[in-house]
Amino acid sequence: MPAKHVTLQAINLFDQQHFVETLGSLFEGPPWIVEQAWQARPFQSQTQLHQALCAVMYKAPVAQQIALIQTHPDLVGRAALAGTLTPASSSEQAAAGLDRLSGEEISTFTQYNQRYRERFDFPFVICARENKKESILAGFATRMYNTREQEIETALAEIAKICWFRLQDLLAEADNK
């Protein structure tokens, strides 16, 4: 479990293991992005650290990018309903109001998740902190018309946003620049 708040100065001094342990939860799934970004230290700002992390993600082979996308849980999916999301995902879905849905709304999300997965072979990824249930549902409807390549790009951009917010949560307030 990463420290609640850490300074950028401390992050720059971490060995790779401590760096990965502290920042690994910025992304869902295995910490390969964080492992590779460690080599870009020292970071002068939160923005530079975020850019280094995203550069690793964007430079990865498409198959690895898709594997990253596939680590994301469905919105209001089985993990959410069973209470087995990561603490970060649970908090993010709750911030969007997805923990307070009616049975009919849950059914709608389930149908959208299924149709989206059937079309693209990975889950719908959206930065829940920037959205509420209505805009998420609208996003499903709009993005269903994208190509798979467009959806990979969109999902990666959303993952970058999620990482940014999680990084803000992790860094000590003095370092949030």
> Does the domain formed by 75-156 have CATH 1.10.3330.10?
yes
Looking at the chain, the domain(s) classified CATH 1.10.3330.10 span 8-67+166-175, 75-156
Contact 19, 11 (CB under 8 A): yes
Catalytic positions, written as ranges: 72
For 164, other C-beta atoms within 10 Å of its C-beta total: 18
Closest CA to 91 of 140, 131, 129: 129
For 21, other C-beta atoms within 10 Å of its C-beta total: 16
pTM: 0.92
Note the pLDDT tens digit of each residue in 10-22.
999 999 999 999 9
CATH number of 8-67+166-175: 1.10.3330.10
Note the pLDDT tens digit of each residue in 53-112.
999 999 999 999 999 999 998 888 776 776 777 888 888 888 888 888 899 999 999 999
Bridge partners (DSSP) listed for residue 6: 171
The residues near 21 (Cβ < 8 Å, ≥ 6 apart) are: 2
